[in-house]
Structure 1
Amino acid sequence: MADHRLVMTTTPDRESAARIASSAVALRLAATAQVRGPVSSYFWHLGEAGEGEEWVVTFKTTGVRYAELEAHIISEHPWDKPEVTGIELARGSAAYFAWMETATAPEG
C-alpha cells in the first residue's frame, strides 16, 4: 500500500486558496482539496508578533505525488515563503486510500 498524505497551506484570501486547490486537483497532484476560512492567525514575522485572517487549504495526496504538489503550491502561492506542511496518514479506509491512489495517478 502506498503512503498517503494530508498536506496544508494557508493563503491571504479565498481566491488564491481556491485557485491553488483547483489547479492541484486538475493536475492530479491531489485527489481532493478543501478550503476553509477565514481563520484568525497569530504569528511571529519580520521581528514582531502579528495577526491576520488566512484561508486554510487541505489536500489529500500520496507520497509519490507529494514533491510535485509541494512545488506546485509554492509556485502558485502569492507569498514568497508559504507554509507547506504534510503528515503521513497512519490509518484510513482501504477504499478511500485506493481512490486517492487512482485519483492522483499520473496520466500516461
Structure 2
Amino acid sequence: MAEHLLVTTTAPDRETANRLAASAVQAKLAATAQVHGPVTSFFWHLGVQGEGEEWLASFKTTGDRYTALEAHLIAEHTWQNPEVTAIALARGSAGYLHWLETATTPES
C-alpha cells in the first residue's frame, strides 16, 4: 500500500503560497493543495524571537513523490530555509486515496 502524506510549508504572502500550490499540483507532485491564512507565527530566526504574518500551504501527496515535492518547494520558495514538513495520513477513504495516488502519477 502506498504511503499518503500531508505536507506543509509557510510563505510570506498569499501570492507566494498560491504560486507554490499551483505549481506543485501542475507538476503532479501533489494531488491537491490548499492555502490558508493569514496566520500569526511565533518563531526563532537568526537568534532572535520573532512574530509575523504568514500563509500556510498544505499538500496531499504520496511517499513516492515527497522528495520531488520537497525539492520543488525549496527551489521555488522565496525564503532560503523554508519549512517543509510532512506527516503520514493514518487513514482515508479508499476512493480518495486511490485518486491521490492516480493524480500524483507522473505522465509517461
TM-score by length of 1: 0.99
User: Is the counterpart of residue 53 in structure 1 residue 45 in structure 2?
Assistant: no
Matches within 5 A, 1:4-19: 4-19=4-19
Secondary structure (helix, strand or coil) at the match of 1:44 reads strand
Matched residue, 2:104: 104
Q: Which deviations, in whole Å up to 9, do the C-alpha atoms of 1:15-59 show, x marking residues without a partner?
A: 010001000000000000000000000001111110000000000
Matched residue, 2:78: 78
Taking the aligned partners of 1:61 and 1:55, their CA distance within structure 2 comes to: 20
Q: Which runs of no fewer than 5 residues in structure 1 stay unpaired?
A: none
TM-score by length of 2: 0.99
**Identity over the aligned pairs, expressed in percent?**
68
Secondary structure (helix, strand or coil) at the match of 2:83 reads coil
User: Is the counterpart of residue 28 in structure 1 residue 31 in structure 2?
Assistant: no
Taking the aligned partners of 2:97 and 2:47, their CA distance within structure 1 comes to: 42
Letter in 2 for 1:64: D
Taking the aligned partners of 2:94 and 2:40, their CA distance within structure 1 comes to: 35
What RMSD over aligned residues (CA atoms) do the two structures have, in Å? 0.5
